Structure 1
Amino acid sequence: MAQLIGHYISGKHIVETQRSGPIFNPSTGEEIAQCAYGDVITVNQAVQAASSLNAQKWSKASHASRLQVIYKLRELMIAKTEELAEIIGREHGKTIADAKGEIGRAIEGIEFACNAPQVTKGEYARNVAGDIDVFSVRVPVGVIGCITPFNFPIMIPAVMMAMAVSIGNSIVWKPSEKVPSAALFFANLWKEAGLPDDIFNIVQGDKVVVDAMLEHPEISAISFVGSTQIGEYVYQKGTSHNKRVAAFTGGKNHMVVMPDADLEAAANAFVSAGFGSASQRCMAVSLLLPVGVETAEKLRELIITKTKALKMGAYNDESADFGAVISSQSKQSVLKAIDQCIEDGAELLLDGRSYQHPEYKNGYYIGPTLLDHVTTDMDFYKQEVFGPARGILRVNSLDEAIAVTNSHEFGNGSVIFTRDGKTAHRFFTEIESGMIGINVPVPLPVSYFNFGGLRRSKFGESHLYGPDAARFYTKLKTMSQKWPEQIEGHQEISLAFKIT
C-alpha cells in the first residue's frame, strides 16, 4: 500500500482520511505516495487549533520571544537544505540545484521576518489638541489561511508564513496536493524551532478544503498564490465572506531587446529566465520582443544555439539544466498550446514535443521549444504556458513594444535590455507591470521589497514580500487619550464636532 501523506494539526501528524489522490515523481512518472484530502471537518479542527489558548498566548507574546523561534527556524533551514532539496526535487521535478536556489530565497524571506518589530511599528503624535495624544499600533489579524502552488513548495510558504507567524498570527495552510511532503517537513522544522503547538497547521486537499477555508468565519485573511482563474475565484469568494484577500496569480512576462543592447547577454538572459525550472515560474520570461528585423534575426540565431545546448534530466541528475513538468496533465496542456500556435501560423524553430528521457520514458519531459512570428491574436500569446515553450514576437519600435506589453491582461513582470538610459527610463515610466527589469531578466525583488503584479496578475491591494506583507498580516488600532489634571469641576458640555 502506498504511503499516505497526511495533515498536521496541533503539532501532530494525522493520516486518517476518507479521500486521497496520487503523488507522482515527475522525473519517472511513477506514483510514489498518496496525499490525504481533507474536508470541512478537517479544516474546522485546524482552525480550532489555530484559535486556541496557545495561539492567543502567541499573539500576545513579546517580539523577543517570537523572534527566537524565527532565528532558530533560519538555522534549521540552512542545516537541512540538502534533505529538503531532495524532497522538493522528487515531488516537483526541478533539479536539486534549482531546489537549493528556492530554499535560499525561502531563507531570505525568513530573515526579513526578523524585521517584524520594525515594519509593524505604529505612529505617535503628542498634544494634537487640548493635551490629547494620538498613537497607533499594529496587532495580529488572527488566523491566516494560506493556499500555495506546486511550483515553489517551500519558498512561497516560507515568505508568507514566517512574517505572519513572527507578527503573532497562526496558520492554516493548504499546500498543493501535488507536492505535499515539503509542507510536512517545514512543519517539523517549526516545531523543532520551538513554535508552540496549534500555531502552524496543515490541511492537505483540493477545492473542498479551499472552499471550507474561504467560508470559515474564524479565518480572517487569505494569502494565495496560483493560477489566475483560481486566484480570482479565491478573491471573490473570500472577500464575499468579509476576509481580506491577497491573491497573486499568472504572468506572461515580456522581454524587450533594443538594437543597442548586448545581444549575447540578452540571449543568455532569455534562455536562462525562459527555460529555468522547465518554465514553471510565474516570473519566467515568456515572450521575446526584439525591436527591428536585424535585432530579431541576430537574437534568433544566438538563442537557437544556446537553447539547443540545454539538457533535460531527472531531478537528481547533476548535469541537467532543467527537469520534467509537474504532471501528465500539464505536459498535455503544454503540447496542446504548441500545436495550436503552429496551426495559427507561428514558425517552429526548436521542437521539444517528442523528447523522451533515455532512462525514464514515462517521465513528464518536454524539450525546450521555440516559436517565432508569434502574434497578439494567438492563444499562445494570450495564455500563460506553464512549460518550456517560449515565443518570439517581433516589433518595429519601442512604442510598439510598450503598447504590446501593456495591452496584455497580465502585468506581472516586464524586462528591457538596452544600453541607453533614456530608453530604460521611458520603459520604466510607461510600462504597466508590477515588477520591471532593466538588463535583469527576472525582476524578482529581494524579500524586503514588495512583490506583486498589476492587472490580472494580482487581486487585492497587498503584496507578497516586503513591508506591505507585514501590513496585510496586521490590523491597525488608533488611540486618542487624555489625562486631565486632578482638579475639582468638570469640562463643560460641547456638542461641536471638534477636538479641544
Structure 2
Amino acid sequence: MSVREIPLFINGEKVRSSSDDWRDVVNPATQEVVARVPFATEAEVNTAVAVAKEAFKSWRKVSLAQRMRIMLRFQALVREHTEELAALITEEHGKTLPDAEGEVGRGLEVIEHACSITSLQLGEIAENAAGNVNVYSLQQPLGVGAGITAFNFPIMLPCFMFPLAIATGNTFVLKPSEQDPTSTMRLVELAHEAGIPPGVLNVVHGGPDVANQICDHPDIKALSFIGSTHVGTHIYDRAGAAGKRVQSMMGAKNHCVIMPDANRSQAIHNVIGSCFGAAGQRCMANSVVVLVGQAKEWLPEIIEHSKTMKVGPGTQRDADLGPLVSPQARNRVINLIESGVAEGATLALDGRDVSVDGYPEGNFVGPTIFTDVKPGMRVYDEEIFGPVMCVVCVDTLDDAIEFINANPNGNGTSIFTNSGWAARHYEADIDVGQVGINVPIPVPVAFFSFTGSRASKLGDLGPNGKQAIQFWTQTKTVTSRWFEPDNESAGVNTTISMK
C-alpha cells in the first residue's frame, strides 16, 4: 500500500509543504504507516494567513443568500460522501465505522445550521429611539479566524468551527490534528467543491510551534480551540494576550448519576455505551458513574454487560470499541489503570490484557471498571481518555450533586431517573454546562451552543448555536438622523407627490 502525502491547502489549492519535518500517520489497529503529514514552516503559515486576509476583502461582501447556497451544496456533498469520510476516520483514528458515520452526521448538523445564515446573522433596530433618530446594530465578520482541533473527532470538531465562521463572512485558517488529518482534508476539499472561493478556507499542519504562531499572528482576529486542558489554557492565555477573541473547549471528567427509580436496562445500556464508546476517547464520555441508594445493587449487572462488549478494529462493524489512537495513548491509559490499583481502588474489570485475533500490534484496551474510587486518586482526578469507568456510590441525590460540583470540571453530566422532580432538581443545582436527562451523551443539537463550564471551558462564547454567531461577528451600532433638505441651499424639490 502506498503512503499518501498530506498537503497543505492554501488559496484554494493543495500545496506540498517545503518543510523538512514530516510525521507518520499510523493505523492504530495495525501500526501500518498510511500517510505522512508535514509540520508547516513559518513562511507557509504566514502565507495561509495572508491569503485569508486578502480573501476577506471580497468574501465579507458576498451576500448572505450566496453564502447560504454554498453551505447548502456543502451539506449535500458531505452527506453524499459519508461512507468515504467515515472510512478515513476509522483508518487513522481507529473508532468503529458506525461511530465514525455518527460523527459525520454530527458534523452535518452544524453545516445544516449554517445553511440558516440568512436568518441567523440579523441585527436589531429601534425606530424613533429619539426624535427622528433610528438606532440599529449590524453583525459584521471579524476578519481572519483560526481553529485548532483535537484528534478524537477529525470531522465533527472542524465543523464546530469553520462552517459558521465562513458563513458569517470571515475567512479561516485551520490546523487539524496531525494524528489523523486525511478525513479533515477531504472535508475541506468538499467545501471547495461546494463553491467556497480560494483563500477563504486554508489548512496548515503542525505541532506546538504552528499553534503558537497562530496564537501570536496579528492578522488572526479570533481563535477556536478544542483539546486538552493543559494545551487549551496555554492557547487561551497566549492568544488572549495577543488581543484575540478566544474560545477554548477543554478537558472533562463527566459524571452519570443513576437513580434507583430509573429504567434499569436503559440506564445500564446507555451508561456503558457512553463510557466505552470510541474507546473512551470523547470529551463527553460519562466516565464516572454515580450510583444513588439502591442503584448500587446494579453494579454486578453493569460489570457483566461490560464484559460482553467486543473489542476489535474499527472496520469490523460488530465491534463495540476499537483501538486507542496511538501506542503512547495506550501506555498512558495502562499507567493510569495501574495507578488506580496502587492507590487503593478496586479493579472490578481489567481490560489491560485484551487480545484481538489478527491484530497483535493494535493499541487495544478493553472495558475497565474501578469501584471504591475517591477524589485524590489519579483515575478520578485525571481525564483518562480511554475505556475506563470509575464507580462511586452515594446515599442521596443531594450527595451526588455535592460530589459532582466539587470536581473542578464542568463539561457534561447525565442523570437517569423516572422522577420529574429529581430531574428538575438535578438540572437546577448541578454546576455543569451540559446536562442530559435519560440521555447518555448530552451534546446538544447544533442549533444550541456547546456550553461546558468551569475548568472545561475558557471564554464566554462556545461553538455552535447563537453563541457561535456572536463569537464570529462583532456588533456595530449605528445611530442615524436625517434632516429634510433646505430647498434654497440644496436646490431640490422636496414636494411629495401623492399620486
Tell me the TM-score range normalised by the shorter chain: over 0.9
Quote how far apart the aligned CAs of 1:262 are. Answer: 1.9
1:295 aligns with 2:324: no
> What is the SS of the residue equivalent to 2:104?
helix
State how 1:225-244 maps to structure 2 within 5 Å: 225-244=226-245
CA distance in 2, matches of 1:468, 1:119: 11
State how 1:126-165 maps to structure 2 within 5 Å: 126-165=127-166
State how 1:25-64 maps to structure 2 within 5 Å: 25-52=27-54, 54-64=55-65
Matching residue of 1:495: none
Matching residue of 1:308: 307
Matching residue of 2:102: 101
Matching residue of 2:221: 220
- The aligned amino acid for 1:128 is A
CA distance in 2, matches of 1:415, 1:214: 34
> What is the SS of the residue equivalent to 2:161?
helix
Pairing partner for 1:20 from 3, 6, 22: 22
Quote how far apart the aligned CAs of 1:433 are. Answer: 0.4
> What is the SS of the residue equivalent to 1:320?
coil
CA contact (8 A) 1:264 1:302 kept: no
- The aligned amino acid for 1:180 is P
CA distance in 2, matches of 1:371, 1:18: 45
Quote how far apart the aligned CAs of 1:130 are. Answer: 2.5
Matching residue of 1:75: 76
Matching residue of 2:208: 207
CA distance in 1, matches of 2:471, 2:166: 12
List per-residue Cα deviations over 1:216-240 (Å, max 9, x = no partner): 0000000010001101111000110
List per-residue Cα deviations over 1:110-155 (Å, max 9, x = no partner): 0000122222211101111131110000011111110011010001
- The aligned amino acid for 2:139 is R
- The aligned amino acid for 1:295 is A
Matching residue of 1:66: 67
Could you list the structure 1 runs, at least 4 aligned residues long, displaced by more than 3 angstroms after superposition. 487-490
CA contact (8 A) 1:39 1:208 kept: no
Give the TM-score taking structure 2 as reference length. 0.96
> What is the SS of the residue equivalent to 1:51?
helix
CA distance in 2, matches of 1:390, 1:347: 12
CA distance in 1, matches of 2:335, 2:372: 18
Matching residue of 1:452: 451
CA distance in 2, matches of 1:421, 1:65: 46
Matching residue of 2:430: 431
Identity rate, percent: 38
CA contact (8 A) 2:69 2:115 kept: no
CA distance in 1, matches of 2:8, 2:309: 38
CA distance in 2, matches of 1:397, 1:376: 18
State how 1:381-420 maps to structure 2 within 5 Å: 381-420=380-419
Structure 2, gaps ≥5 residues long: 490-499
Matching residue of 2:351: 352
CA contact (8 A) 1:38 1:208 kept: no
> What is the SS of the residue equivalent to 1:486?
coil
CA contact (8 A) 1:350 1:368 kept: yes
Quote how far apart the aligned CAs of 1:55 are. Answer: 2.9
Quote how far apart the aligned CAs of 1:485 are. Answer: 1.8
Give the TM-score taking structure 1 as reference length. 0.95
Matching residue of 1:269: 270
CA contact (8 A) 1:39 1:212 kept: no
- The aligned amino acid for 1:37 is F
Quote how far apart the aligned CAs of 1:475 are. Answer: 0.6
List per-residue Cα deviations over 1:321-361 (Å, max 9, x = no partner): 11001111100110111110111111111111011222111
CA contact (8 A) 1:405 1:431 kept: yes
List per-residue Cα deviations over 1:175-224 (Å, max 9, x = no partner): 00001111211121011111111001000111111011000000000001
Quote how far apart the aligned CAs of 1:64 are. Answer: 1.0
- The aligned amino acid for 1:151 is N
List per-residue Cα deviations over 1:247-270 (Å, max 9, x = no partner): 001111101111222222211111
Matching residue of 1:196: 197
Quote how far apart the aligned CAs of 1:20 are. Answer: 1.3
CA distance in 2, matches of 1:364, 1:286: 20
CA distance in 2, matches of 1:48, 1:97: 39
CA distance in 2, matches of 1:468, 1:252: 24
> What is the SS of the residue equivalent to 2:129?
strand
List per-residue Cα deviations over 1:433-457 (Å, max 9, x = no partner): 0001111111110001111211010
Quote how far apart the aligned CAs of 1:29 are. Answer: 1.7
Matching residue of 2:442: 443
Quote how far apart the aligned CAs of 1:489 are. Answer: 11
Quote how far apart the aligned CAs of 1:78 are. Answer: 1.0
CA distance in 2, matches of 1:356, 1:202: 38
CA contact (8 A) 2:68 2:118 kept: no
CA distance in 1, matches of 2:488, 2:325: 76
- The aligned amino acid for 1:432 is D
Aligned residues: 487
CA distance in 2, matches of 1:184, 1:284: 26
Matching residue of 1:498: none
- The aligned amino acid for 2:96 is T
Matching residue of 2:494: none
Matching residue of 1:279: 280
> What is the SS of the residue equivalent to 1:360?
coil
> What is the SS of the residue equivalent to 1:189?
helix
Quote how far apart the aligned CAs of 1:21 are. Answer: 1.2
